[in-house]
Amino acid sequence: MSGTGWFEPSRPIRVEGGIRARSTRGSIGERWWSRRFVDILERVCDKGRLGRGRSYARSGQVLGLEIGPGLVTARVQGSRRTPYRVRVGIAAYDAGQWRDLTVALAAQALYRAKLLAGEMPPEIEAVFRGCGLPLFPDQRGLDMDCSCPDWGFPCKHLSAVLYVLAEAFDDDPFLVLAWRGMARDALLAALREAGGGAADDAGGAGGPGLFDVADTPFADRLADFYEPGVSPARLRERTGLPGTPPDLLLRALDPPPLAARRVPIPDLLRPAYQTLAESDDA
């Protein structure tokens, strides 16, 4: 963006077929991952331009949003006849980094199951941090540019695109990961492979399944049928099972159709469950 200090008139040219934000008032972003993204933006960006960007997003001024590895592109109709070109870039992780992330995610059975079911577990941020890779960018991790002459950063056109992007994340959480360089289908295939695959679970061609047990006649097992499969000495050497997450019930049950300030109830209750678990351990 140029530094001329020129500002376009406040009334943009109305367009048909633009991407109109569903939110008509208050904050934009309904799910925890989109709210996380918006909260970061609203902490680091100019509040005035973010406000004008929300108005642009709600008026349908954003055209042709495209999300790819490391880059979001869009056009935004302002007061000039030609729409402005907007780009928002972040670091897309390479194959080696995604291999580490996939292994870390697959190692957590519950997170793997949620992702395979199309859900984004809140703990995924901790998995990314454990690999030294942030899931969401801060202002320094965003490479933003707009063809408009407004020297403010981000301008209202960029802000509008960021809010529309947050609602796109609402619709499909895997777009967050696609922006970081891993498409949904590729990630799910990698998780299935790391966990043995759907064919394994069903006892298919991928290998022995969960319920594949050798069919040995009972007469051949009379001598050792009641013996443990592992010696008592080996059992004593084994470590204990990992503790149950305090918010397991919140994860397992369907969330109620309620929200407070557009934040889902389970996200509000999760810290309380954690506190109760810590007090119980004390």
d(CA 282, CA 261) in angstroms, rounded, equals 33
The C-alpha atoms of residue 64 and residue 76 are separated, in whole angstroms, by: 9
> What does the pLDDT look like over 186-234, one tens digit per residue?
999 888 887 654 434 433 333 343 334 455 676 776 676 666 555 555 5
Sheet harboring 84-89: ordered strands across? Answer: 62-68, 71-76, 84-89, 143-146
For residue 217, give the amino acid letter.
Answer: P
59-116: pLDDT as tens digits: 999 998 999 999 999 999 988 889 999 999 999 999 999 999 999 998 888 888 888 8
Give 241's pLDDT tier (boundaries 50, 70, 90).
Answer: very low
Are the C-beta atoms of residues 114 and 120 closer than 8 Å to each other? yes
Contact present, 60 and 20 (Cβ < 8 Å): yes
pLDDT tens sequence across 256-275: 766 666 667 777 777 777 77
Residue 176 has pLDDT above 90, yes or no: yes
Q: Which stretches within 91-145 are classed as H helix?
A: 95-106, 109-116, 124-130
- Contacts of 105 by beta carbon, 8 Å cutoff, 6+ apart: 111, 112, 115, 124, 127, 191
The count of other CB atoms within 10 Å of the CB of residue 167 is 21
Please write the tens of the pLDDT for every residue from 13-54.
Answer: 888 888 988 877 777 888 888 888 888 888 877 777 888 888
